[in-house]
Structure 1
Amino acid sequence: MWFDTHCHLDFAEFTSHQERYNELFRQHNIARFFVPSVGPQNWQLVLDLASDTHCIGLGIHPCFLQPLIDNQSLDRDLERLSVLVLENRDHVLAIGECGLDKRVDIPISTQLSVFRFQIDLAEQLKRPLIIHSVQQHHNIQASLKGRQRDNLGVVHAFSGNYQQAKMLVDLGLKIGVGGVITWPTAQKTREAIAKLPLDSIVLETDAPDMRISGRQHEANSPHLIPIIFNHLATIRSEHPSTLAEQIWENSIHLFSG
């Protein structure tokens, strides 16, 4: 069985073709999913997906901050997030997707403020963080320093080097391994993932994004997790069955509530 620890099943690609994708998930033995939110516009959509097989998280993604800033609703939306998470604490198994992104034209100070609010919320509920980090691993580390605990969260869609990965793992974070490792150009990331402790790795697609090499002209989907795993097995020293079993356990633990 497989667990896709980061997929946006509330996006139109999946809701518009639900029966077809559900059949693909069954055929490829994709048994569990984690669905993060990106902001107020899809909190309820994500909550509606919560089930025994679909773990969900609520948060505010740095790339979706601008409309909240433009509407001068950011403070109210953060308060709404806190209230919604507390009201649905039995279903909300993580906080996120949240984090920092150097590419977006929003002051890093604003991004940090929103991220730290969500760190505090995750700490209050003892929930893991689902972290988006683009060229901001140093600020992620600084924000989480001193907050180490079991099951702190995961840096999803990791594409850095070994030193960056180890720094994050040493905080107590897991590393989300996705389609990046299928690309021959991602050698530094492949080398990093090859050396990490096995108990720090989970698999994800970030579907419908983060395309897979050789299938970049089609939407990504959880049913492609076995392809990512096959690439992972070529760079790890463990027997594939050992690798698959431990990754399943890591994923279950991450969202154990």
Structure 2
Amino acid sequence: MQWIDTHCHLDAHEFGDESLQIAAHAGAQQVQMIVIPAVERANFSIVRDLAASAPNACYALGIHPIYVPNATEDDLLALRAAVQAAMVDPRFVAIGEIGLDFFIPMLTEPAMRAKQEHFLREQLKIARDFDLPVLAHVRRSQDIVLKHARQIRPNGGIAHAFNGSFQQAQGYIDIGFKLGFGGAMTFTRALQIRRMAAELPLEAIVLETDAPDISPSWVHPGRNSPEQLPRIGAVLAELRGIDLAAVALQTSANARAVMPRLPILKEQP
């Protein structure tokens, strides 16, 4: 079986100097590929270099909404230039992590909401211009992110840590997005997320850890890791009442469908 972690902040300070070791351990657990999204201009080169050093890693470039308050128009220009340069890099796969966060109080003030939406739209345009998918942070902002994505139409993407309604899920599916499920799905009290994981078309679902965050129930409140992905996949298989191998095969195919640039590794014996 082969698994793809479509969203993992392997460069996070919580991992210290263990990032490459953790990626190797995940590889031993059949995590064939780990997608490392950037969050700000300052870590564009960090995620690129980390992906180049880990055989089972690749990366995305973008400006996370939490970093938008201190971001400038120059950062958007730098992102466009970095994307253009990265198009020859086989480990560069998407624009991300971008999106909207209307949960953190300081980000909900009118001026900051407007700035977030501006940065989202400009990054969606970069994705569209380079024919790339996006990794979208969608926190209490499902309909607004969907509205902008419908208008600008990047080449698909992933609604990361999806926690919307069935109607919103269908809206994302209709514009070529997949829906990211991870550790939140493993908590028995997460009734709506578990229901969506069980009932949405399996062809619409990709798996992720968001490590070091969103730890699964057996790790919470500890540090999450891409090594946990196969066990998270086992929860999805249990919720759907299907074979684990079928979940690995389909979710990996879904990840490759939405991120066509994902490197292809040789099957492990």
Question: Could you state the TM-score of these two structures normalised by the residue count of structure 1?
Answer: 0.91
Distance in 2 of aligned mates of 1:156 and 1:3: 14
Q: Which has the higher contact order (CA 8 A, sep 6+)?
A: 2
Residues 30 and 223 in structure 1, CA contact (< 8 A), matched pair in contact too: yes
Q: Deviations over 1:181-204 (max 9, x none)?
A: 011121111111222122111100
Q: Does 1:171 align with 2:175?
A: yes
Shift of the 20–85 alpha-carbon distance from structure 1 to 2, 3 Å rule, reads closer
Instruction: Give 1:102's aligned amino acid.
Output: F
| Matching residue of 2:265 | none
Q: Alignment identity in percent?
A: 33
RMSD, aligned CA = 1.7
Shift of the 117–147 alpha-carbon distance from structure 1 to 2, 3 Å rule, reads closer
1:16-55 pair list within 5 angstroms = 16-18=17-19, 20-51=21-52, 53-55=56-58
Q: Deviations over 1:127-177 (max 9, x none)?
A: 00100001101101110224557x500011112232222222122110011
Shift of the 23–146 alpha-carbon distance from structure 1 to 2, 3 Å rule, reads closer
Q: Does 1:61 align with 2:64?
A: yes
Secondary structure of the structure 2 residue equivalent to 1:96: strand
| Matching residue of 1:140 | 145
Q: Which runs of 5+ in 1 are unaligned?
A: 69-73
| Matching residue of 2:117 | 112
1:106-255 pair list within 5 angstroms = 106=107, 107-148=112-153, 151-255=155-259
Q: How many residues align?
A: 251
Question: Could you state the TM-score of these two structures normalised by the residue count of structure 2?
Answer: 0.87
Residues 176 and 204 in structure 1, CA contact (< 8 A), matched pair in contact too: yes
Residues 135 and 159 in structure 2, CA contact (< 8 A), matched pair in contact too: yes
Distance in 2 of aligned mates of 1:230 and 1:8: 22
Give 1:80 deviation, angstroms. Answer: 0.8
Q: Deviations over 1:204-244 (max 9, x none)?
A: 00000111112113210000001211110112144332222
Instruction: Give 1:66's aligned amino acid.
Output: P
| Matching residue of 2:99 | 99
Equivalent residue in structure 1 for 2:74, among 73, 76, 79: 76
Secondary structure of the structure 1 residue equivalent to 2:145: helix
Moved more, 195-204 or 174-183: 195-204
Residues 161 and 189 in structure 1, CA contact (< 8 A), matched pair in contact too: no
Instruction: Give 1:93's aligned amino acid.
Output: V
Residues 162 and 189 in structure 1, CA contact (< 8 A), matched pair in contact too: no
Secondary structure of the structure 1 residue equivalent to 2:47: helix
Residues 148 and 172 in structure 1, CA contact (< 8 A), matched pair in contact too: no
| Matching residue of 2:87 | 89
| Matching residue of 2:6 | 5
Distance in 1 of aligned mates of 2:8 and 2:168: 24
Give 1:247 deviation, angstroms. Answer: 0.9
Distance in 1 of aligned mates of 2:100 and 2:183: 20
Shift of the 133–20 alpha-carbon distance from structure 1 to 2, 3 Å rule, reads same
Give 1:56 deviation, angstroms. Answer: 0.7
Instruction: Give 2:62's aligned amino acid.
Output: G
Q: Which runs of 5+ in 2 are unaligned?
A: 262-269
Distance in 2 of aligned mates of 1:242 and 1:27: 20
Secondary structure of the structure 1 residue equivalent to 2:120: helix
Residues 9 and 15 in structure 1, CA contact (< 8 A), matched pair in contact too: no
Distance in 2 of aligned mates of 1:238 and 1:180: 20
